[in-house]
Structure 1
Amino acid sequence: MRHRAPQLTAVLAVTAAAVAAVLLAAPSARAENNGVGLKPVLGWSSWSFIRKAPSAAKIDAQADAMKSSGLAAVGFDYVNLDDFWYQCPGSQGPNVDQYGRWVTDPAKFPASGSTDGIQAVANHVHGDGLKFGLYVTPGISKQAVSQNTAIQGTSYHADDIATTTAEKNYNCSGMVGIDYGKPGAQAFINSWANEFAAWGVDYVKIDGVGTGDVADIQAWSAALRQTGRPIHLELSNSLAIGSAATWAQYANGWRTGGDIECYGCESGGSSYPLTQWSSVQSRFAQVAAWQPYGGPGGYNDYDSLEVGNGADDGLTAPERQSQMSLWAMGAAPLVLGTDLTNLDPTDLGYLKNSRVLAVDQDGIDAARLVNNGDQQVYSKTEPNGDVILGLFNYSGTASTTVTVPLASAGISGSAAATDLWTGGSLGTVSGAYSVTLAPGAVRLIRAVPSGSRAVRIEAESSGNTLAGATRTASCSGCSGGTKVGYIGDGAADYLTVNGINEASAGARTLTFSYLLSGSRSFSISVNGGPDTTVNLTGSSFSTVYTASVPITVKAGANTVRFHNDTAYAPDLDVITVQ
């Protein structure tokens, strides 16, 4: 990309709420731009409830229930089949086809004519208007090596690429490593990804990967992209935080810890209870530590959301609200582990709460403001200046009073507060906010600061329109670690900033941060109106500059287009409307 270089942090004259947005909301890492994962996934996975005995009928039934329950209507759309879908005859690894790829277990997923059993399930899921996910582990099966299977489309074979190093496959074993420096290695993964794409797979979970498997992750990332099908790539589990930038570069999500299931609690041969409060407690520190690393394109994954089956979840009702609230504050995938065919009415109401879902779907990771024993408080500021506060009682046995200074969340004056679980008004808050919470309970609040507010939007935000050759690029010093360039040099190459929602019409100040060496100009149009041309100068693409222009907005949604129909415009980082 032309003239891309690191820049200094932008300094904008904004309100306290907008300052909080800068400090709390901007992720410092971006996932690969593969067209998916722009918002946290909403869906379901087979592992927690179905566990080791999946079948076509069971997965079909869960998909049907997601639709009939109304969960699909509020955004839950992924139905993910985890482990035990393939044939596993013993310790020598999964059975393989002529090209060394895992073979579907026909007893669980019978073929329909020439249609593979997994493809048949994917077709059913798609028929419900949903998306289908599948599970894999790194490496190549020993079965492929012993048979020396061909690598599709090449003259190479399994023995040409396999190592003797064991790879992790938790339940079947028998996987060995791949030497990605050998010809045919990438082609093998490509052929596997192409098969998944042909089956209609929309999501791939690669399990058992870590810092020693970066080559596998890179290969799967490249393989899924070359299929031409938008396929979400999820990494599992307990990924190292020191390599967060690597996970963000190649994947759309990464498990930050181990399994949330309560394996030692189960009784009577069932999967119930699915989890326990101590497993949720372990995520509080993870949400705080991983806060800088999630954002559009790739999110921190705290494992399954165990809400849906009432007492069988293994959590009290307040604890279920707390789990969903904590995941939402962390902008985490909300992937249900519960039985969708047996939903508890109260839990279903929790899952369909649009106010809480919106907190998750804003894609902003919350920062921890209070970490004082059982008092836990997280906060994030949305682009329109609203502050989301999550006050939690960490204790599962005793009530406690949780207090947060509102100034620490960027609220310098007063704010109108709403309880997001009930939708009820909490009145006007200022100074500090306190609430006494029952064991494991939460108070989730949207606080709307009074007075002047700033709308702050990253140029690369997923809600914006990047037209023509306009594209994002990494920028180590930029807000969010990313900027937008290739704006202009043609009428088709422009950036439209969306999501500028105003309560009333009138005059505003538009401030934008840009990068430039030399002299260039922006043409700026509000709501499709006449252009305002802004001539700009700069001495280095390593420095961020700011400029401001007066604009007029209408009540409701507004758009601002940055373009230059005859020459290149500067690169753009952040815009603020105040």
Structure 2
Amino acid sequence: MTRIRIRSLVVTLVGLLIASAIPLLGGGHPAAASDNGQSIRPAMGWSSWSFVRRWPTEAKIKAQADALVSSGLKDQGFVYVNLDDFWQKCDADGFVVDSYGRWTVDSAKFPSGIKALADYIHSKGLKFGFYVTPGIAKNAVTKNTPIEGTSYHAKDIADTSKTEKNYNCKNMYYIDYGKPGAQEFVNSWAKQFASWGVDYLKIDGVGSQDIPDVRAWDKALRATGRPINYALSNNLPIAEASTWRQLANSWRTQGDVECYCGPGSNGSGYPLTDWSHVSARFTSAANWQQYAGPGGWNDLDSLEIGNGDQVGLTADQRRSHFTLWAMAGSPLLLGTDLTKLDSVDKAMLTNDRLIGVDQDGVAAKRIVNSGVRQVWSKKEKSGDYVVALFNTGTSGNSTVSVNWSQVGFTGSGDVTDLWSGSDKGTITDSYSATLRPGETRLIRVTPQG
């Protein structure tokens, strides 16, 4: 617990430095990071989508929160419990809305309401995450509901000529932010979420056309006075990367990591993912690397570790999955069933050295990309280098090599294997490892002389 308290102190200090525009870690970014003080380090926790999918309930979310605590994952820094989509109530015309045109909670799934659920999560020393998409519901426009605290109504701000992307009830009209009352509508929704105890908000279905919504929600969340980590999803265009970085704390760089290849409806159930969906992240992580840093991170999607091989990945592939996410500085949001935590996977997830790589505030660069052989490297503030070697193939061993000059120094370095913690001694000029299909080697190198 001492380590967690120290980390919290460091996060607070770094947040103050960013807000004061004091440069950190020497990185030159294309745009300043969001200065809302959130996600100075990548968020860590659990999200409902991968495993719970379209059937979240109050009991299921509480069970995962309990498991975060009882497993010891909370003490490792996994503190967010994020309720994703399908918490809402729908009718034939889309989302059922309240008296101010905002989505209503499906009381059959959440009989105690969202605030009570958030209160329960907070009582465990955890944080509560929630979900929304851009726009205003068709039912709000049909009923012409008033906008809270104003003389305006839903019809005053809705652009009914086009509909937003939505994955559940659909029927979401665009908002015309040139109209009076538009920002106030988003403000009222953000204020409601804040009153419920939301600590993290994912806005999904975002594209370039939704930049006005992203700006409006950023402004609205700040106005609540509650610290709320602001996440964008999914498959955001890299052409707008500087905008996402300026407005939000994380942004999904690709579509879903889930394979939707399970036996249940809509591809639910195990397997949750497969190697092709994970390995596709190597290129996007490389392309987006320059935009990551304190206050804003490239989100590679859920971390599908916790339930052993049944998730759709071998143990080697799961270690590579975690290693890539850590090297990229991605949020670590588990997508598995934590009430049935596999012992092998628990050892992976509680590896302080791996978590430290993710939380060091630096996103690694890819320095070798040759067939199935990849090498990534980053220099930490201490002057040490963290280097990851991968065999991304699905058959055959491969020897992966890197020269220290490619990493960023010359001569020799003291090497530590970060997965095992073993000291590999002093190694001169280069490093090589023969890796099984899907295997990784993650090392820390302290240059000598």
> Does TM-score exceed 0.5, indicating one fold?
yes
Once the two structures are superposed, residues 500-557 of structure 1 have per-residue CA deviations (whole angstroms, 9 ceiling, x without a partner) of xxxxxxxxxxxxxxxxxxxxxxxxxxxxxxxxxxxxxxxxxxxxxxxxxxxxxxxxxx
The residue type equivalent to 2:141 in the other structure is V
Query: Which of 190, 195, 198 does residue 192 from structure 2 map onto?
Result: 195
Q: Distance in 1 between matches of 2:50 and 2:435?
A: 29
Query: Which of 77, 80, 83 does residue 78 from structure 1 map onto?
Result: 80
Aligned match of 2:168: 171
Shift of residue 268, structure 1, vs aligned partner? 5.1
Q: Distance in 2 between matches of 1:81 and 1:318?
A: 29
Aligned match of 1:226: 223
Aligned match of 1:240: 237
Once the two structures are superposed, residues 61-118 of structure 1 have per-residue CA deviations (whole angstroms, 9 ceiling, x without a partner) of 100000000000010000000000010113x22110000000000000013xxxxx11
SS in 1 for 2:306: coil
SS in 1 for 2:95: coil
Matching of residues 101-120 of structure 1 within 5 Å: 101-111=102-112, 117-120=113-116
Q: Distance in 2 between matches of 1:243 and 1:81?
A: 27
SS in 2 for 1:290: helix
- Tell whether 2:246 aligns with 1:274: no
- Tell whether 2:84 aligns with 1:87: no
Larger C-alpha radius of gyration, 1 or 2?
1
Shift of residue 26, structure 1, vs aligned partner? 5.0
Higher RCO (C-alpha 8 Å, min separation 6): 1
CA-based RMSD: 1.2
Once the two structures are superposed, residues 330-378 of structure 1 have per-residue CA deviations (whole angstroms, 9 ceiling, x without a partner) of 0000000000101001101100100010000012010110000011000
Shift of residue 144, structure 1, vs aligned partner? 0.1
Aligned match of 2:19: none
- Tell whether 2:129 aligns with 1:128: no
Asked if the contact 1:27–1:365 (Cα under 8 Å) also holds between the matched residues in 2, the reply is: no
Aligned match of 2:139: 143
Aligned match of 1:538: none
Asked if the contact 1:325–1:442 (Cα under 8 Å) also holds between the matched residues in 2, the reply is: yes
Give TM-score scaled by structure 2 length. Answer: 0.93
Asked if the contact 1:204–1:233 (Cα under 8 Å) also holds between the matched residues in 2, the reply is: yes
Give TM-score scaled by structure 1 length. Answer: 0.72
Identity of aligned residues (%): 58
- Give the number of aligned pairs: 423
Matching of residues 498-577 of structure 1 within 5 Å: none
Counting helix residues as a fraction of each chain, which structure ranks higher? 2
1:416/1:28 Cα in 2 relative to 1: closer, same or farther (>3 Å)?
A: farther
1:268/1:86 Cα in 2 relative to 1: closer, same or farther (>3 Å)?
A: closer
Aligned match of 2:321: 323
Query: Which of 149, 155, 174 does residue 151 from structure 2 map onto?
Result: 155
Report which stretch shifted further, 162-171 or 224-233: 162-171
Q: Distance in 1 between matches of 2:359 and 2:382?
A: 15
Q: Distance in 2 between matches of 1:439 and 1:362?
A: 28
Aligned match of 1:40: 42
Counting strand residues as a fraction of each chain, which structure ranks higher? 1
SS in 1 for 2:105: coil
Aligned match of 1:215: 212
1:368/1:175 Cα in 2 relative to 1: closer, same or farther (>3 Å)?
A: same
Moved over 2 A (4+): 25-31
Q: Distance in 1 between matches of 2:309 and 2:31?
A: 38
Shift of residue 397, structure 1, vs aligned partner? 1.8
SS in 2 for 1:237: coil
Shift of residue 427, structure 1, vs aligned partner? 1.4
Shift of residue 28, structure 1, vs aligned partner? 4.0
Q: Distance in 1 between matches of 2:269 and 2:47?
A: 14
Asked if the contact 1:240–1:256 (Cα under 8 Å) also holds between the matched residues in 2, the reply is: yes
- Tell whether 2:249 aligns with 1:252: yes
Aligned match of 2:11: none
Shift of residue 140, structure 1, vs aligned partner? 0.2
Matching of residues 281-300 of structure 1 within 5 Å: 281-300=279-298
Aligned match of 1:66: 68
Aligned match of 1:30: 32
Return 5+ residue gaps in structure 1 as ranges: 1-9, 11-20, 112-116, 452-578
Aligned match of 2:359: 361
Shift of residue 35, structure 1, vs aligned partner? 1.4
1:27/1:358 Cα in 2 relative to 1: closer, same or farther (>3 Å)?
A: farther
Q: Distance in 1 between matches of 2:76 and 2:213?
A: 35
Q: Distance in 1 between matches of 2:428 and 2:243?
A: 41
Q: Distance in 2 between matches of 1:430 and 1:300?
A: 33
1:29/1:397 Cα in 2 relative to 1: closer, same or farther (>3 Å)?
A: farther
Q: Distance in 2 between matches of 1:334 and 1:405?
A: 30
Asked if the contact 1:27–1:291 (Cα under 8 Å) also holds between the matched residues in 2, the reply is: no
Q: Distance in 2 between matches of 1:29 and 1:348?
A: 37
Aligned match of 1:348: 346
Aligned match of 2:16: none
Query: Which of 404, 411, 423 does residue 425 from structure 1 map onto?
Result: 423
- Tell whether 2:299 aligns with 1:301: yes
Q: Distance in 2 between matches of 1:67 and 1:83?
A: 23
Aligned match of 1:478: none
Return 5+ residue gaps in structure 2 as ranges: 1-22
The residue type equivalent to 1:135 in the other structure is Y
Aligned match of 2:337: 339
Q: Distance in 2 between matches of 1:273 and 1:28?
A: 38
Asked if the contact 1:30–1:296 (Cα under 8 Å) also holds between the matched residues in 2, the reply is: no
Q: Distance in 2 between matches of 1:286 and 1:399?
A: 25
Q: Distance in 1 between matches of 2:334 and 2:446?
A: 31
Once the two structures are superposed, residues 292-330 of structure 1 have per-residue CA deviations (whole angstroms, 9 ceiling, x without a partner) of 001111100000000000012210001000000000000
Shift of residue 27, structure 1, vs aligned partner? 4.2
SS in 2 for 1:392: strand
